[in-house]
Amino acid sequence: MQKNNLIFIITLLAISALAYYFHFASEKTTQYEIRVLAQNKTYLRPLSNRLIVKGYLGESIITWNMNDEVRIEKSPCPNQSCVKMGLCKSIPLICVPNGIIINPIAQKYDAVTGQ
- At 64 the pLDDT is 85
What does the chain come to in residues? Answer: 115
Q: How many angstroms separate the CA atoms of 86 and 34, rounded?
A: 16
Q: What's this model's pTM, rounded to 2 decimal places?
A: 0.65
Q: How many angstroms separate the CA atoms of 72 and 61, rounded?
A: 6
Residue partners of 33: CB distance under 8 A and separation at least 6: 44, 45, 104, 105, 107
Q: Is residue 14 pLDDT above 70, yes or no?
A: yes
Q: How confident is the model at residue 104 (pLDDT cuts 50, 70, 90)?
A: confident
Q: Which residues pair with 103 in a beta bridge?
A: 35
What single DSSP character describes residue 85? T
The number of beta carbons lying within 10 Å of the beta carbon of residue 50 is: 10
31-107: CATH topology is mini-chromosome maintenance (MCM) complex, domain 2 (2.60.320)
Q: Where are the domains of the chain?
A: 31-107
Sheet holding 31-38, edge to edge: 41-44, 31-38, 100-107, 93-95
- At 54 the pLDDT is 93
Q: Is residue 27 pLDDT above 70, yes or no?
A: no
